Amino acid sequence: MSTMATFRFGQHIIKSSAVFLKTELSFALVNRKPVVPGHVLVCPLRVVERFRDLRPDEVADLFMTTQRIADVIEKHFQASSLTIAIQDGPEAGQTVKHVHVHVLPRKAGDFDKNDSIYDEVRFKSRTSSSSCTTCCHIH
């Protein structure tokens, strides 16, 4: 990818150096406010606010890309499970008006209550955090 290229993520401009995978219709980056190490976002290239507004080819590419990344993330972070989630609309916790899939590697005991991860995703999306420096290599 060219270092001059950028990607739109809702109202944000993402440098190509932050994107570790680009397909025909999607791209992926490490979340700048990770809930757990390896927290990745997969987004359609076209800026679309709600999941229902994606075209069928975009849905297929988004989920095939998510599956591909999920496999690598789970192995790389030696996780035993994954949380894969979409916050679709403001009442669901969506803060960036661009469909995106959260992929989070999970391990036994990483949260006291399993569903606490959803509270943490909502909290992290509203607060600042340090950048994750983990780089994923997808082939």
Task: Print the SS3 string covering the chain.
Answer: CCCCCEEEECCEEEEHHHEEEECCCEEEEECCCCCCCCCEEEEECCCCCCHHHCCHHHHHHHHHHHHHHHHHHHHHCCCCEEEEEECCCHHHCCCCCCCCEEEEEECCCCCCCCCHHHHHHHHHHHCCCCCCCCCCCCC
Q: How, if at all, do strands 26-30 and 19-22 pair?
A: antiparallel
Q: pLDDT in tens for each of the 139 residues of the chain?
A: 445 689 999 999 999 999 999 999 999 999 998 999 999 999 999 999 999 999 999 999 999 999 999 999 999 999 999 999 999 999 999 999 999 999 999 999 887 666 666 666 666 665 433 333 334 444 4
Binding positions are 12, 31, 87, 93-96, 102
What the block records as the tokens of 89 is: 């609309």
Binding positions for substrate are 12, 31, 87, 93-96, 102
pLDDT value of residue 120 = 66
Catalytic residue among 39, 76, 98, 100: 100
Q: Is 100 a catalytic residue?
A: yes
Just give the CATH number of 21-47+55-93: 3.30.428.10
pLDDT value of residue 114 = 65
pLDDT value of residue 128 = 38
